[in-house]
Chain A
Amino acid sequence: MNTHGEKTARVVLARKPDADLVQKIVAFTESRGCTHVRYTIDPKIVGGIIIYIGDVIYDGSVRSRLENIKHSL
């Protein structure tokens, strides 16, 4: 949250999203009270998406799924 009370979501993706996907991401972040979205491209997550909203993390990345598999093994 910035000084004007606006909430920003940080979105991490493996590749650049198309317009349709951006719209869906914005719709989701707005439903969680965010007015701004900041994108980061990180190929290390392999695929999927990670969204940071305040203290909440939505992690749907391929990397995190692989890590889960690794821990479960």
Chain B
Amino acid sequence: MDMLFMAGLLANPFEALGLEWQSIVLHLFNLVILTVGLYFLLFKPVKRMVKERQAKIKKIEKENTELNDEVKKMKESTEAVLSDAKKEAAVIHENAVKVANQKADDIVSSARKEAKSLIERTEQEMEEEHRKLQKDIEQQITDVSLAVAEKILSREVTPEDDKKMIEESLAQWSKE
């Protein structure tokens, strides 16, 4: 039986398998129609959709890259601005400290000068007052001494002494 089957298969394969050529052609035609239909109805739209999705992803990636670049630039710019601001703030602070120190020094110096001047003026005034007082006292002592001397002399000068004094004066003036 196997031998007969094999011989039949070799002689007429379609017939041996119970197939007719019209059926095969029809099936082939169906397959072609299905393939073409699937190609146009499913494969092409899916392919287009994938392409669109890929383009969209590429676009998004590009946008992401651009955005990242922009963010990076902004960050760098911000850091630069921040750094500049910090430097400027440091300079302003330094200047403010310098100015404040200078002002403080000026105020202290001025106060010292004023205090020195005040002390000198006070000392001068005290010295002047002291001198004046001393002079007044000396003058008073002199006045009192002379008043006392005058009193004593008016009592103690005798007519003889007086005459002698007058004679001496006359003799001296006569020589001139």
The distance in angstroms between the C-alpha atoms of A63 and B138, with both chains bound, is 20
The distance in angstroms between the C-alpha atoms of A47 and B167, with both chains bound, is 12
- Tell me how far the C-beta of B151 lies from the nearest C-beta in chain A, rounded to whole angstroms: 9
* Contact (Cβ within 8 A) A21 B163: yes
The reply to whether the CB of A34 lies closer than 8 angstroms to some CB of chain B is: no
The distance in angstroms between the C-alpha atoms of A17 and B163, with both chains bound, is 8
* Contact (Cβ within 8 A) B169 A69: no
**Stretch of B48-56, B105-113, B142-150 with 4 or more beta carbons under 8 angstroms from chain A:** B142-150
* Contact (Cβ within 8 A) A49 B170: yes
Instruction: List, in ascending order, chain A residues with CB within 8 A of B165's CB.
Output: 47-49, 60, 62
Contact of B154 among A28, A46, A58 (CB under 8 A): A46
Contact of A15 among B162, B168, B172 (CB under 8 A): B162
* Contact (Cβ within 8 A) A48 B167: no
Instruction: List, in ascending order, chain A residues with CB within 8 A of B173's CB.
Output: 28, 51, 58, 60
* Contact (Cβ within 8 A) A48 B169: yes
The distance in angstroms between the C-alpha atoms of A58 and B163, with both chains bound, is 16
With contact pairs A66-B146, A70-B146, A73-B138 given, residues A47 and B162 touching in the complex (Cβ less than 8 Å): yes
Instruction: List, in ascending order, chain B residues with CB within 8 A of A28's CB.
Output: 170, 173-174
Instruction: List, in ascending order, chain A residues with CB within 8 A of B161's CB.
Output: 47
Q: Chain A: which residue is nearest B163 at the CB level? A: A21
Q: Chain A: which residue is nearest B161 at the CB level? A: A47
Contacts A/B (CB < 8 Å), 28 sampled: A13-B166, A14-B157, A14-B162, A15-B162, A17-B163, A18-B163, A21-B166, A24-B170, A25-B170, A28-B170, A31-B174, A46-B157, A47-B153, A47-B161, A47-B165, A48-B169, A49-B166, A49-B169, A58-B173, A60-B168, A62-B150, A62-B153, A62-B165, A63-B150, A66-B150, A69-B146, A70-B143, A70-B146
